[in-house]
Amino acid sequence: MDSYFVVAGDLHLERSQYGLTVRFKDNQNCIETVLQDVCNTPECRGLILTGDTFHKRSLLPKYQMLLQSIYQRIKRCGKTLLAIDGNHDGSDSSWLDTIDVEINASGKVVTLDGKTAVFLSFQPREQAYQCLRRLQAAPDIIFLHGRLLELMTWAAHQTDPDYDFSANELRELGLKKCTVFMGEIHTYCDYHDPVADNWYVYSGSTEMTEISEGNVISDRFGSRYDAVKKYVRYYPGRPHGKNWECVELPNRPFLKRVISPTEDVELAIRSLEEWINRHPRGILALHYPDTMREVLKPHLPKWRDALLVFFEVPLSKGIAKPLQDMKESDILDIAQAELSQKQLAILRTVLTQEPFEPSLSELVRVSNP
């Protein structure tokens, strides 16, 4: 069997999503799934964390001790732990150093089963680019924390992307036939640059977000992102482009359901009943026109009792129409009162200049109104 390294990120160890203790336990359950693979599989060489191990820079000692226990458990099995900082837990000094300076891989060049790997913690894009320019030879693997502009069309229109980086710009730096494993986005996705034959792979997260819970597909991030929570196995010995595979993590069922004004409310109720019966203790976010509230009202208490969390949002007539059904002009009118001029310029470009065929350099020259 081929040897591999488990790649995971965005653990956000101390976060309790929605303020619920059970959500902290959900995260721990996912982390335990990862550790079982690392510690109990002979072919696994170790664990690599791609940033945001902690949720914030100020840290209670018990969460530092939690990472310490994870490290000791991996070390007792004779495996390796390597990690970098993300945007949530990165600062002038790293909490990773308080566990063991050896696990803090930021800025290091490491050989993983014959492959050259570079580790870059979260930092401004130009600083990251400078680090890559200083390398004597192009790496086979990069582990970093950040957002890839080519995977987020809305972000590509920012004239000053700050921390976001570009596959095109990395290609111009001489990066070729490289696999880049990333943290920051909490769901698995990948992107291939066919010109340089570089692969960009988000390692997912054990900590849950709306996109990664059930069947929610994000309008903001598109359909490239997998709605099932995953982590990644990296195989140094396998051919480029086929050197990783995904492993599913346990998901708590989540459904975001928008009932439109034109729907048959009885059919909508029936489908909701079926979903709740299949997913007890799940999470349901229900949006519906306030004109339907009287019909739905008898069902709401029993749904609330059956679910872990039930978000109920009656929508007034003015906003009852789902966002994806609105015209671009409707969205811009609503946004006018809420967004800054810079944000409006980005939104106007995203809504009115599809498809996104121009190069990045052309997109960032979009002028403000």
The pLDDT of 346-368, averaged and rounded, is: 53
Q: What is the pLDDT of residue 357?
A: 46
- Of 197, 230, 248, the residue at which a domain comes to its end is 248
Q: What is the pLDDT of residues 235-292, one digit of tens each?
A: 999 999 999 999 999 888 888 888 888 889 999 999 999 999 988 888 888 889 888 9
Q: What is the pLDDT of residue 3?
A: 96
**Domain-embedded: residue 368:** no
Radius of gyration of the chain (CA): 22
315 with 333, same domain? no
71 with 100, same domain? yes
Q: What is the pLDDT of residue 33?
A: 96
**Domain-embedded: residue 358:** yes
Which uninterrupted H or E stretch holds 125? helix 125-133
Q: What is the pLDDT of residues 195-242, one digit of tens each?
A: 999 999 998 889 876 666 655 555 555 566 777 789 999 999 999 999
Q: What is the pLDDT of residues 315-334, one digit of tens each?
A: 776 554 445 445 555 566 66
**Domain-embedded: residue 81:** yes
**Domain-embedded: residue 15:** yes
8 Å CB contact between 33 and 73: no
Q: How far apart are CA 325 and CA 333, in angstroms?
A: 15
The pLDDT of 144-163, averaged and rounded, is: 71
Give me the domain span that covers residue 240: 4-248
Does the pLDDT at position 121 exceed 60?
Answer: yes
The pLDDT of 330-339, averaged and rounded, is: 64
How sure is the predictor about 160, in pLDDT bands with cuts at 50, 70 and 90? low
**Domain-embedded: residue 229:** yes
Q: What is the pLDDT of residue 234?
A: 98
The pLDDT of 78-95, averaged and rounded, is: 89
189 with 228, same domain? yes
DSSP state of 104: B
Q: What is the mean pLDDT of the chain?
A: 83
315 with 340, same domain? no
Q: List, in sequence order, every residue forming a beta bridge with 117; answer none if it has no partner.
A: 110, 141
- Of 217, 248, 279, the residue at which a domain comes to its end is 248
Classify strands 109-112 and 115-120 as parallel, antiparallel or unpaired. antiparallel
Q: What is the pLDDT of residue 358?
A: 47
107 with 163, same domain? yes
The pLDDT of 126-149, averaged and rounded, is: 92
Q: Which two tokens stand for residue 52?
A: 């945001």
CATH of the domain at 126: 3.60.21.10
DSSP state of 291: G
Write down the residue that tokens 């679910």 correspond to.
307
Q: What is the pLDDT of residue 207?
A: 85
274 with 296, same domain? yes
The pLDDT of 342-369, averaged and rounded, is: 55
Q: How many domains does the chain have?
A: 3
**Domain-embedded: residue 332:** yes
Phi, psi (deg, nearest 5) at residue 72:
-65, -40
Does the pLDDT at position 364 exceed 50?
Answer: no
Does the pLDDT at position 106 exceed 50?
Answer: yes
Q: What is the pLDDT of residue 217?
A: 52
66 with 90, same domain? yes
139 with 65, same domain? yes
267 with 227, same domain? no
Q: What is the pLDDT of residue 179?
A: 97
The alpha carbon dihedral of 123, 124, 127, 128 has a sign of positive
**Domain-embedded: residue 219:** yes
**Domain-embedded: residue 138:** yes
60 or 2, which is more confident: 2
Does the pLDDT at position 161 exceed 60?
Answer: no
Q: What is the pLDDT of residue 229?
A: 86
Nearest to 6 by CA among 234, 206, 188: 234
43 with 101, same domain? yes
Q: What is the pLDDT of residue 5?
A: 98
217 with 344, same domain? no
123 or 154, which is more confident: 123
241 with 137, same domain? yes
